[in-house]
Amino acid sequence: MQLGPKGKALIEGFEQLRLTAYQDQRGIWTIGWGHTYGVVPYQTCTAAEADAWFVQDTQTAVDAVNRTARVALSQEQFDALVSFTFNVGQGSEDHSTLLAELNTGDYAGAAEQFLVWNHVNHVPNAGLTRRREAERALFLS
């Protein structure tokens, strides 16, 4: 499967385009649409560069979900999982209870697991809570 328009809009809605590098809430240097690989302080990019990184970065998440999800998925479920994986990273997705529940066929249990992933440094985060609720809603739609 590939990322659909709803998934793309969800990711872009939470990442937002930033043309100058900034540190996210965990201190990770980020630029563009949530791009982190090789980003350094004071780095800038064009919107075209940010869009190209977005395609590469979301494809990494798409490949991870295609590799790890062993059950049939609707486009909405797939998009929600790609958004989740894009945000938490493929290593975290691969070892998550969310994926374990999903792969047993417990779609409802998997949906509830989105809401667990809303912490920064062990503290609940309002922005991540909104994102996980949106991913869960898309997954259940």
- Both tokens of 5, joined, read 């328009």
Specify whether the CB–CB gap between 36 and 28 falls below 8 A.
yes
15 a catalytic residue: yes
Phi and psi angles of residue 120, each rounded to the nearest 5 degrees, phi first: -125, 120
Q: Are 14 and 24 in contact (CB under 8 A)?
A: no
Candidate list 12, 15, 93, 112, residue with the active-site label: 15
By annotation, the residues acting in catalysis are 15
